[in-house]
């Protein structure tokens, strides 16, 4: 069944701080717009090369697609493995943190599904949550534990809640970081040199250098704020979620807060034909905001 929504259904006003105006991140006169609603819990927005934005309704086990051509939303995949975070690689493959069976999925352009991983050294993963695909095709995956009603197991399979790394050839799968309480959001820089990981339970976001074979090195505190999902723009600003969207510059200084009139903001990405539209998933809705910067 195809579901269509009007792109500019509702407009929500918000104020912009002085620092935000100085940085000129938001397009002049832009207002937060409700793109679509009526879901149970939206997550995992990711844009393809054409600027189409895919997002999940995790409790309802679906992936949706917003079209950059006509602004309409339709069902992309009915059975999504309870996908949470999504990310595209340079070849057009969509990757999903599918926690129904604690799996990492690769979805081809014609919707063929390949399970890349469901365990670490024989132990079932805790619950893949979010991921980032590096320029060389390596994948960083966060694996926190959030008990799901559809799981048969009630015990956390792996004691540590970690970040894992899958090699570009999709054969190697290694622990990248384990000194975290509950890693959640993850995003890297376009040069493949740095990775940001949000520890949502410890209320911190960390920055790592990406070393040889995906090894995370030189862990440094980026900001004392955790996050659900996150993204980065062309200036190196980091966008954290939870209470609306909070933007930090590359030095870890807060430069803008975008209020979203929902109890929780789960994730964020850039999309649209010019990648200058910020898409925000929040509770039962998908929002957009026109920006002066592009996403990476």
Lowest average pLDDT, out of 8-17, 52-61, 222-231, goes to 8-17
**Measured distance CA(126)–CA(103) in Å, rounded:** 9
Element housing 21 (H / E): helix 18-23
Domain range summary for the chain, segments of one domain joined by +: 10-290
CATH number of 10-290: 2.120.10.30
- Here the tokens at position 19 are 């620092």
What is residue 141's predicted lDDT score, i.e. its pLDDT?
98
- Here the tokens at position 48 are 């393809």
**Measured distance CA(191)–CA(134) in Å, rounded:** 8
Residues 156, 145: contact at Cβ < 8 Å? yes
**Cβ atoms < 10 Å from Cβ of 29:** 6
Coil, strand, or helix at residue 66? Answer: strand
Q: What is the pLDDT of residues 78-105, one digit of tens each?
A: 999 999 999 999 999 999 999 999 999 9
- Mean pLDDT of the chain, nearest integer: 92
Q: What is the pLDDT of residues 247-281, one digit of tens each?
A: 999 999 999 999 999 999 999 999 999 999 999 99
Q: What is the pLDDT of residues 115-171, one digit of tens each?
A: 999 999 999 999 999 999 999 999 999 999 998 888 888 899 999 999 999 999 999
From the centroid of its chain, how far is CA 17?
25
Residues 162, 107: contact at Cβ < 8 Å? no
What is residue 152's predicted lDDT score, i.e. its pLDDT?
83
- Here the tokens at position 29 are 């006169």
**Measured distance CA(37)–CA(281) in Å, rounded:** 10
pTM of structure: 0.92
What is residue 224's predicted lDDT score, i.e. its pLDDT?
98
Backbone dihedral region for residue 265 (phi beyond 0: left; psi -120 to 50: alpha; all else: beta): beta
Buried-exposed string 169-196: b where 16+ CB fall within 10 A, e elsewhere: eeeebebbbeebebbbbbbbbeeeebbb
Which residues are paired to 31 by β-bridges? none
From the centroid of its chain, how far is CA 50?
18
């Amino acid at each position: 069944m195809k579901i269509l929504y009007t792109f500019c259904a509702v407009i929500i006003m918000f104020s912009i701080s002085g620092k935000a105006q100085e940085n000129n991140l938001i397009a002049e006169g832009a207002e937060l717009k409700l793109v679509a609603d009526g879901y149970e819990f939206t997550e995992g927005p990711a844009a393809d090369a054409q600027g189409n934005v895919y997002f999940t309704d995790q409790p309802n086990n679906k992936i949706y697609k917003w079209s950059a051509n006509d602004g309409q939303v339709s069902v992309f995949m009915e059975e999504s493995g309870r996908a949470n975070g999504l990310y595209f690689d340079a070849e057009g493959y969509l990757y999903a943190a599918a926690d129904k069976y604690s799996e990492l999925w690769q979805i081809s352009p014609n919707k063929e599904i390949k399970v890349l991983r469901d365990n670490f050294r024989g132990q079932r993963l805790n619950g893949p949550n979010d991921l980032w695909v590096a320029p060389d095709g390596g994948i960083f995956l966060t694996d926190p534990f959030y008990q799901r009603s559809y799981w048969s197991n009630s015990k956390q399979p792996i004691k540590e809640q970690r970040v894992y790394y899958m090699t570009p050839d999709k054969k190697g799968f290694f622990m990248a970081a384990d000194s975290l309480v509950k890693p959640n959001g993850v995003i890297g820089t376009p040069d493949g040199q740095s990775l940001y990981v949000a520890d949502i339970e410890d209320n911190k976001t960390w920055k790592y250098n990406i070393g040889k074979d995906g090894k995370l090195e030189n862990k440094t505190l980026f900001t004392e704020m955790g996050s659900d999902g996150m993204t980065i723009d062309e200036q190196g600003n980091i966008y954290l979620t939870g209470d609306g969207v909070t933007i930090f510059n590359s030095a870890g200084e807060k430069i803008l807060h975008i209020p979203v009139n929902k109890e929780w903001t789960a994730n964020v990405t850039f999309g649209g034909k010019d990648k200058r539209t910020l898409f925000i998933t929040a509770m039962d809705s998908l929002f957009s905001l026109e920006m002066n910067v592009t996403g990476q």
